[in-house]
Structure 1
Amino acid sequence: MKKSISIFLLLGQIVFGQEKFNIQKEEVKRIESELSSDKMQGREIFTSGIDSASIFIEKEFKKIGLSNYGDLKNYRQEFVVKGKQANNVIGVLLGKSKPNEFVIFSAHYDHLGLKNSGDDKVYNGANDDASGVTAVITLAKYFKELNENERTIIFVAFTGEEVGGFGSKYFTQGINPDTVIAMFNIEMIGTESKWGKNSAYITGFEKSDFGKILQKNLKDSNFSFNPDPYPTEQLFYRSDNARLAAVGVPAHTISTSKMDSEPNYHQLSDEISTLDLDNMSEIIKSIAISSKSIINGMDTPSRVEKL
């Protein structure tokens, strides 16, 4: 069984039980290439570069056919930060039997912007976090085509993570946390984890049984989710999951970033050429597989203790 699944993964299509998981590397590369391109100018909040990134994500959500969130008229959740306009990008896939129970897939689309001088001035942020946004868009397309989600899925690209988590803060203020069943926040999945290929870690693993549910759903695959190996880094509180986790939601971040030895982290060198797109595609497929029982309403992760 493990050998068969591995072969299907390499071919870009995994058969899990009676379901087909069709997530293609070519599509992952297309989205990642656009988000981390120089024309996005490093996607710094309050710049034309992040506006370009927002427009791209909005177009992808529209092409997929996602619905608007709440009473929004489009995919932009706009708000003001320090007197300046900013926006999250949100799309929704309505659940069939449990539409008022929400599962969130998220990533932040902002990055560091431009350096003042030098031949290379663009902080492309290919891994941080164009890789996560690429996963969110790819998963939105996958779940839309699968059309089997019993719970409503909310796909969010947050802004302002790099400067204080403003996007996730605003989003959290506007949603009843009791209605959020789980949050899959995806942060830096473009490089191999410390365990090598076909593996990732989950921050705050011990704070709920979210990770154990994901592991259970992956038991017949060749992929493994592991507890966060960098506890001193306090990663559970350093990404966009933290705002919802603080109010009790089993909100966790999935990552592969080697925080003790990631040479391109917050560097100009964080470009698409440094990513392992094959492995990244496998991670996205495995997130899809691991979320199956939560999306379908079969499993409900335990709550995180409120801060």
Structure 2
Amino acid sequence: MKNIIGLAILSIALGCGGAKIDESVGSATGTNGSGAIAKDASAVQGSKGVSSVVSVFSTEKKVGEIISYLASDELKGREAGSEGIEMAAGYIENIFKSNGIDPFFKNYRDTLANFEKPAYNIVGFIEGTDKHLKNEFVIIGAHYDHIGSADVVANDHIANGANDNASGTTAVLEFARYFGKLKNNKRSVIFALFSAEEKGLLGSKHLAKRLKDQNLDLYTMLNFEMVGVPLVGKDYFMYVTGYEESNLADISNTYAQEKLVGFLPTAKEYNLFKRSDNYPFHLEFGVPSQTFCTFDFTNFDHYHKVGDEVSIMDFGHMALLVNKTIPVLEGIINAPRREIEYN
């Protein structure tokens, strides 16, 4: 998330349904970060006819495999324009290819026009199945770059960026894997992994403008940022930036059939709505564009530091987040009308 800590330290000392389609994933439950077993994976019908499931789709093993590569020392902190982020781009492309996600443009790479070095968003696409709704688009996104290096600690200078934002990238890749397998999306879906977020939201600014110039009919942009560790002491699972700007939280909670999304006062205080890749889409399209997050300024002490390592990520929490969010995304993508609205 771009430039949030500089604001926060002024007053805070940081501690910072799918269907059952994958029979090989093992346990049908995740953990909540403290070892407790998540709710059972039995399907029920949501109030709007959507299958509401804490599914067995994503697992600790799967999310661990993805984030462990993206945040490995081999990728050297994934700075935009670097050899390390080039490796991450190739990895993301391979996941898209292997899960039936088509390129949105001629190929997966959307070359940034606003950055001096070669840098790419990776943009995949699944066409909608409904002859009318397929002309409307939902973007599911996250940034996959980080800052490369940071102040040396114990001879380590690589800022691996596990939470920021290999975690969000992992979630989006799991959503792409799910929808790529089922192809049950009535609206068309774009999966966008952004570069150069850490340089000033450059990747999302570039893509938002490019899509606006093409007159894309965008319904909503749903962004995932810093979701690698659970919230503590909250009565909700994650929060959304710009909570009071729209009814997204209410819509999400209806499809989740629980209080999945809540309001974090510090997100409003530090205006996090404007500090991640949702914001350029808000500016260009004027449609609900918001970020889901589980970083709350108290549960993570390694923002833009070398300590942002895979070893402190909670894979059970990440898998549970994916599984809890799948019914929400299905509901939004397949609803007969546009339900999410700005207030």
Does 2:274 match 1:237? yes
2:293 matches 1:255: yes
Distance 1:280 1:196, change over 3 A: farther
Question: What is the CA-CA distance between 1:159 and the residue it aligns to?
Answer: 0.6
Aligned to 1:172: 208
- Paired positions, count: 295
Match of 1:15 in 2: 42
Aligned with 2:76 (options 32, 37, 41) = 41
Report 1 or 2 for greater relative contact order, CA contacts < 8 Å, sequence distance ≥ 6. 2
Within a 5 Å distance, the mapping from 1:1-307 to structure 2 comes to: 8-10=28-30, 14-17=41-44, 19=51, 21=55, 22-69=57-104, 72-97=105-130, 98-115=133-150, 119-176=155-212, 179-195=217-233, 199-219=237-257, 221=258, 224-230=260-266, 231-246=268-283, 247-260=285-298, 262-304=300-342
Q: Secondary structure at the match of 2:180?
A: helix
Q: Give % identity.
A: 33
Query: Cα deviations across residues 10-40 of structure 1 (Å, max 9, x unaligned)?
Result: 3898333365631222111110101000011
**Which residue number corresponds to residue 3 of structure 1?**
none
**Cα RMSD (Å):** 2.2
Supply the distance in 1 between the matched residues of 2:336 and 2:42 (Cα, whole angstroms): 20
Q: Per-residue displacement from partner, 1:43-65 (whole Å, max 9, x unpaired)?
A: 00111111111111111111111
Q: Distance in 2 between matches of 1:173 and 1:289?
A: 30
- What CA distance in whole angstroms lies between the structure 2 residues aligned with 1:280 and 1:198? 15
Note closer, same or farther for the CA distance 1:55–1:199 as it changes in structure 2 (3 Å cut): same
Partners of 1:217 and 1:209 lie apart in 2 by: 13
- With over 3 angstroms needed to count, the CA separation of the structure-2 counterparts of 1:251 and 1:129, relative to structure 1, is same
Q: Could you tell me whether the CA contact under 8 Å between 1:242 and 1:251 is conserved in 2?
A: yes
Shift in alpha-carbon separation, 1:28–1:58, aligned structure 2, 3 A: same
Structure 1 runs not aligned, ≥5 long? 1-6
CA distances 1:57-81 after superposition (whole Å, capped 9, x unpaired): 1111111111111xx2211011233
Q: What is the CA-CA distance between 1:153 and the residue it aligns to? A: 0.8
- When normalised by structure 2's length, the TM-score is 0.80
